[in-house]
Amino acid sequence: MQGQALPGFRDFYPDELALRTHIFATWRRVATRYGFEVLDGPPLEPLDLYTQKSGEEIIGQLYEFTDKGDRRVALRPEMTPTLARMVGARAQALKKPIRWFSIPQLFRYERQQRGRLREHFQLNLDLIGEAGPLADAELMAAAVDIMRAFGLGPKDVRLRISDRRVLRALLLGHGVTEAQLPGAFAAIDKSERDPRDVIAQRLTQGGLTDKARDGVFQVAGLKGLNAVNEALAQAGSTDAGEPLSAAVGALDAMGLGDFVDVDLTIVRGLAYYTGIVFELFDAGKSLRAICGGGRYDGLLKALGGVDLPALGFGMGDVVLGELLRERKAVIDPAVRLDAFLVSVSAEDIPAVLKLAHELRDRDVGVEYGLRHAALRKQIELAAARGAPRAIIIGPEERKAGEVVVRDLNAGTEERVPMAKLLNGYFR
């Protein structure tokens, strides 16, 4: 028998699952508070659903195989193609805008590194059928509010926002051609990770002139909305910045402006993004992105055959879990006991069993020892299990119709009538 899971996969022991459960519950709470409805799809999809979006090169990153029906299939590496397929199937009947979220488990066969495994769970939040910048602001606000729900503030996390329309206008103004834009986008996307001389060499090899290459670095260096708008004004392209300004203004009106950094190095590597893009990082940038997304207005038409504007983000549990552990977030225990039942003698066990079942029927979390032991041993077990109180039943208590309730934190005791214990004591 193997002693550990496959490389890149995880076992979730109860304490680790408690963190995952906490993350999922917070995701659901904020998403539903924003009016998003939950959906899900199959973990196994036709392979061409992913090659249609990302090309044949994606196959090397997938868990893919031919099934017994001779179909080429893959474990889902992302949720967006499934979302597009589902929207396309019922597009006419769905009320717009569509506000959906999901928490799928995703699989990618790729090199493991900190914050990236071969499987993870991910919150996907998508807003479909609205082209205006308030939709972008709404989605980014939800991402920030998830961080706030975990107890994180602007000193802990930063929302870094850019806009591909702004990047395009500024780069064209510096002499980058339409054909050279993908290479310039890629260079800006890697500008924080790769040395400047390496990036410059790539741009030169891509055919950019010295002037255009220097322009790429100037654009990547722009920080803050004012600096971006000034650069757009100089380029005669102020219209390109209006959606970004409107979205940032909306976030400020919501009281979330302290989280926001306008930063044009945020590009998002996927070519299907068409407008505002954003990522959430820990303030010290010691981790990978917590969350990333943006507007992808043409993707639903390409994948689902329905021409609807759309935007969304994904937030994985791996990096977020690391951040919460670093910040020592308070996590609900895996088991929440209200009491531990203790028998004084072996003859008291039937009374303990009866009381345990009656309390559980009333939605009270209780446990008891599965074999009789000394009173001290039972109390020690109650404390080890995290029970706040022990309920002690002995011959005298059974005769009087009472129990002894011992507060395991304060060390105090009280005698409580059985009728009171079953009717309102735990409210």
pLDDT digits (tens, 9 = 90+) for 82-110: 999 999 999 999 999 999 999 999 999 98
What's the pLDDT band for 418 if we cut at 50, 70, 90?
very high
Between helices 164-173 and 225-234, what is the axis angle to 10°? 40
The alpha-carbon radius of gyration of the chain (Å, integer) is 28
Q: What is the dihedral of CA 235, 236, 239, 242, to 10 degrees?
A: 50
What's the pLDDT band for 41 if we cut at 50, 70, 90?
very high
What's the pLDDT band for 339 if we cut at 50, 70, 90?
very high
What's the pLDDT band for 205 if we cut at 50, 70, 90?
confident
53 pLDDT above the threshold of 90: no
Structure pTM? 0.87
At residue 162, the pLDDT reads 96
What's the pLDDT band for 330 if we cut at 50, 70, 90?
low
At residue 1, the pLDDT reads 52
At residue 208, the pLDDT reads 86
Q: Rounded to the nearest 5°, which phi and psi values hold at 333?
A: -65, 155
Other beta carbons less than 10 A from residue 198's beta carbon: 12
- Model confidence pLDDT, tens digit, residues 225-271: 999 999 999 989 999 999 999 999 999 999 999 999 999 999 987 77
- Model confidence pLDDT, tens digit, residues 270-297: 778 999 999 999 998 889 999 999 999 9
CA distance 63 to 77: 8
- Return the H-helix or E-strand segment holding 52: helix 48-54
Nearest CA to 217 out of 229, 205, 208 is that of 208
Q: Quick one: three-class SS letters along 215-255?
A: HHHHHHCCECHHHHHHHHHHCCCHHHHHHHHHHHHHHHHCC
- Average pLDDT for residues 143-153, to the nearest whole number? 96
What's the pLDDT band for 327 if we cut at 50, 70, 90?
confident
Handedness of CA 202, 207, 211, 215 (dihedral sign): negative
157 pLDDT above the threshold of 90: yes
Handedness of CA 278, 280, 283, 287 (dihedral sign): negative
SS3 for 36?
coil
- Average pLDDT for residues 385-409, to the nearest whole number? 94
At residue 206, the pLDDT reads 84
2 pLDDT above the threshold of 70: no
At residue 383, the pLDDT reads 92
SS3 for 81?
helix
At residue 332, the pLDDT reads 65
- Average pLDDT for residues 302-314, to the nearest whole number? 91
- Average pLDDT for residues 21-32, to the nearest whole number? 95
At residue 191, the pLDDT reads 85
